[in-house]
Structure 1
Amino acid sequence: MGFLEIRNTTKSYGSVEILHDIDISVEEGEFLVLVGPSGCGKSTLLNMIAGLEDITSGEISIKGRVMNGVHPSKRNIAMVFQSYALYPNMTVGQNITFGLEMHGTPRAEREKALAEVARLLQIDHLLDRKPGQLSGGQRQRVAMGRALVRDPDVFLFDEPLSNLDAKLRVDMRTEIKKLHQKLKTTIVYVTHDQIEAMTLSTRIAVMYQGYVQQLGTPKEIYDTPANVFVATFMGSPAMNIIPAHVVMREDVPHAKITDADGNEVLLRFSQPNLAEWDGREILLGIRPEAMTDPEGADRQSANIQTLTNRVSVTEPAGSDTFVTMVLGGKEVVARMRADALVRPGQRFDFAANMEKAIAFDPKTEKRIAP
């Protein structure tokens, strides 16, 4: 049994079910990220763990204790909100220790806990200021301090970085990661940002339309997505999804695709089980970094396939150059070295790492497992 157990949990408003049979087991010290687009149910699920939303059916337990119907104040959880939710008339120190004071914690213990948390978050010099005198990043540290000072069983983060600018968001992401590595706390973190999900988590639950589409480590989610939604949601730029047909050549399955000029392209698969799909349509998934220039191709791969195609657009991006072409009637993005000599309109030799290619069933959009 996990430290935090979510079993067959649903949530309905009237006759409309918005969360469907959620099953997630979180181990002690794990960093679970709930990620998905707006409206997928991730914040609702977090609120159910916190006790801010009732559970329609199923069960949520923490440390073996069932939480259904237990008041939020009795769950020993701490929540960090997107809006910080600081009291404007209190100092930073008062904001951090207010919860302890309400629980009757002696003054000496409060001051000791405040000093430890302030030092950990490097906000010792801010304790006498009011929230209105702080930057966004400083307010977020105070909100985190208020959660940390209580030493809860589970920390819940609801899109805590979404109000920060891009650079500060990256900095705070690193701080949260370091904090988790140091304290080994159990965290459930909600975000719509897949970069946050990949960099922070030990495991990710990708959600869409009230269902958990896939639960796994960042590597599992990225390398072996369960379906087309996960494949295209996780990763920037997104995985290319290309209509193709499976054809057999010398008993080896190949993907048959048309290029920008209508020519037939054959790419050899590394998945032998696709032989049973001979003559059938599939969706070929390949990430931009697996479609590159020959000099930049992975030297460790045993299956680099070359194809020549016309370049539509080039986008220099500092350390990389992104190249757009058309394959199978779809725009496909290739990720190349910054100094790759490629220009719009030319026919260019691309290198596809077919060891990284994934086949999806076009009807169910689920991955065809090896």
Structure 2
Amino acid sequence: MASLTIDKLTKSFGVVDVLKGIDLEIEDGGFLVLVGPSGCGKSTLLNCIAGLEKISSGEVRIGDRNVEGLHPSKRDIAMVFQSYALYPNMTVRGNISFGMEIRGIDKAEREKAIEEVADILQIGELLDRKPSQLSGGQRQRVAMGRALVRHPQVFLFDEPLSNLDAKLRVDMRTEIKRLHQRMGTTIVYVTHDQIEALTLATKIAVLEAGYLQQFGTPDEIYNDPANMFVADFMGSPSMNLIDGMLDQGQEGLEVRIKGHGGSEIALPAPDTAAMRERLGKPVVFGIRPEAMTDPDGADRTSPRIETRDCYIEVSQPAGSDTFALTPLGGKECIARFRADAKIQLGSFSPISFNMTKAVFFDPETTLRIR
């Protein structure tokens, strides 16, 4: 096992800058998830760590060793691909042991390693089957087993679950989480699925257009987003980003938000120096759907619950919850109600806002107002 440090890394393809000054560090035994939309540079960054792409500038260090210029086989890493990349003519046993054979490891040691990973991944009964006889989830376990037997310092996963159906993805996330807890090996994991990122990571790096937008724990990324991109990208449903005007109210600063049919609500805003600089100017009020709920479902431990009447246009039952859509700031905002909450469509109903969960952004820079 080893820590991983990425220092001022850039990568260009001709005149196109794909990665622009990436700084990251994950501790020994950490689980780093690189997340972002398609084309943001996350797979390119993973390939730079692996040595499959040569970086333009900066450093990649595994432990205390700068691995730039080293062949992938010399970096002490193991990679699990989206496509599984199994040899179709070999059994599961052969696929797992092939790399060990190439390295000249004797048969007894190979068999011991195979039995160990088969036990960890629960694929003992599959060892004599060919890949064509396996399900997608079983193939992914075999690909992980082939990586595990190498005992690398760092595991690299490139969207390993994207070919699986929704339920199997959830099951495999649990398996990968359990595997990390058991093995304690440093993992770098690429995904475009932000729920996957929040579920698995000890640290998340959010990328967009080649820039690192935010790096932090899942809690920091979700509850303390650095900008509007992170706030909108992370979470399902995503954060409500509501246009409002910062004003001086009778009891302090407040954000005034237009509602349905010319109605308006005012909610208290934090009285900080940065907020006072925007007095009388537009702001973007950010709040997660679960922090907008029916009064009976509001967080009773929160000291700052504000209840306002809002017009309910649509309700969407979702089993354990009901999502209510209300127009605020010229947008359809989502509130998460209890499943049995009574909702009167086409009328004004009370919605409780947990203001301890509220954040504010500058609409011009899109950055958080602290």
Fold equivalence (TM over 0.5): yes
CA distance in 1: counterparts of 2:169 and 2:264, whole angstroms: 45
CA distance in 2: counterparts of 1:20 and 1:304, whole angstroms: 41
Say which SS state the counterpart of residue 141 (structure 1) adopts.
helix
Structure 1 equivalent of residue 8 of structure 2: 8
CA distance in 2: counterparts of 1:122 and 1:152, whole angstroms: 21
User: Partner amino acid for 1:239?
Assistant: M
> After superposition, what is the alpha-carbon deviation per residue over 1:164-223, rounded to whole angstroms, capped at 9, x for unaligned?
111111000000000101111100000000010000000100000001100000000011
CA distance in 2: counterparts of 1:303 and 1:344, whole angstroms: 27
Say which SS state the counterpart of residue 206 (structure 1) adopts.
strand
Structure 2 equivalent of residue 84 of structure 1: 84
Alignment of 1:125-274 (within 5 A): 125-250=125-250, 252-273=252-273, 274=275
Q: Measure how far apart 1:251 and its partner are.
A: 5.2
Q: Measure how far apart 1:93 and its partner are.
A: 0.4
CA distance in 2: counterparts of 1:299 and 1:277, whole angstroms: 31
Q: Measure how far apart 1:89 and its partner are.
A: 0.3
CA distance in 1: counterparts of 2:332 and 2:23, whole angstroms: 36
CA distance in 1: counterparts of 2:271 and 2:86, whole angstroms: 54
User: Partner amino acid for 2:111?
Assistant: E
Contact 1:316 1:322 in 2 (8 A): yes
Structure 2 equivalent of residue 104 of structure 1: 104
Q: Measure how far apart 1:333 and its partner are.
A: 0.4
Identity score, percent = 62
User: Partner amino acid for 2:351?
Assistant: F
Aligned residue pairs, count? 368
Structure 2 equivalent of residue 366 of structure 1: 367
Say which SS state the counterpart of residue 108 (structure 1) adopts.
helix
Q: Measure how far apart 1:249 and its partner are.
A: 1.7
> After superposition, what is the alpha-carbon deviation per residue over 1:99-130, rounded to whole angstroms, capped at 9, x for unaligned?
11111111111111111011111111111110
CA distance in 1: counterparts of 2:56 and 2:269, whole angstroms: 46
CA distance in 1: counterparts of 2:93 and 2:57, whole angstroms: 40
The answer on 1:327 being equivalent to 2:328 is: yes
The answer on 1:287 being equivalent to 2:292 is: no
Say which SS state the counterpart of residue 261 (structure 1) adopts.
helix
> After superposition, what is the alpha-carbon deviation per residue over 1:8-46, rounded to whole angstroms, capped at 9, x for unaligned?
100000111110001101110000000000000000000
Structure 2 equivalent of residue 37 of structure 1: 37
User: Partner amino acid for 2:59?
Assistant: E
Q: Measure how far apart 1:277 and its partner are.
A: 2.2
CA distance in 1: counterparts of 2:70 and 2:281, whole angstroms: 53
User: Partner amino acid for 1:335?
Assistant: R
Contact 1:252 1:272 in 2 (8 A): no
Q: Measure how far apart 1:269 and its partner are.
A: 2.2
Say which SS state the counterpart of residue 262 (structure 2) adopts.
coil
Q: Measure how far apart 1:344 and its partner are.
A: 2.1
User: Partner amino acid for 1:304?
Assistant: I
User: Partner amino acid for 2:34?
Assistant: L
User: Partner amino acid for 1:41?
Assistant: G
Q: Measure how far apart 1:271 and its partner are.
A: 4.7
Structure 2 equivalent of residue 302 of structure 1: 303
CA distance in 1: counterparts of 2:312 and 2:261, whole angstroms: 11
User: Partner amino acid for 2:365?
Assistant: T
> After superposition, what is the alpha-carbon deviation per residue over 1:304-355, rounded to whole angstroms, capped at 9, x for unaligned?
1111121111000000000001011111100000011103202111111111
CA distance in 2: counterparts of 1:272 and 1:235, whole angstroms: 27
> After superposition, what is the alpha-carbon deviation per residue over 1:257-306, rounded to whole angstroms, capped at 9, x for unaligned?
11112122110124544233221110000110011111111111111111
CA distance in 2: counterparts of 1:40 and 1:343, whole angstroms: 42
CA distance in 1: counterparts of 2:13 and 2:250, whole angstroms: 57
User: Partner amino acid for 1:117?
Assistant: V
User: Partner amino acid for 1:125?
Assistant: E
CA distance in 1: counterparts of 2:44 and 2:125, whole angstroms: 36
Say which SS state the counterpart of residue 78 (structure 2) adopts.
strand
CA distance in 1: counterparts of 2:338 and 2:347, whole angstroms: 17
TM-score (norm 1): 0.98
Q: Measure how far apart 1:234 and its partner are.
A: 0.3
Runs of 4+ in 1 over 6 A off after TM superposition: none
The answer on 1:348 being equivalent to 2:328 is: no
User: Partner amino acid for 1:341?
Assistant: K
1:271–1:124 distance in 2 versus 1, CA, 3 Å:
farther
The answer on 1:60 being equivalent to 2:60 is: yes
CA distance in 2: counterparts of 1:151 and 1:221, whole angstroms: 31
CA distance in 2: counterparts of 1:116 and 1:299, whole angstroms: 48
CA distance in 1: counterparts of 2:240 and 2:189, whole angstroms: 28
Say which SS state the counterpart of residue 129 (structure 1) adopts.
coil
Contact 1:270 1:303 in 2 (8 A): no
Which of 271-280 and 118-127 deviates more?
A: 271-280
User: Partner amino acid for 2:85?
Assistant: A
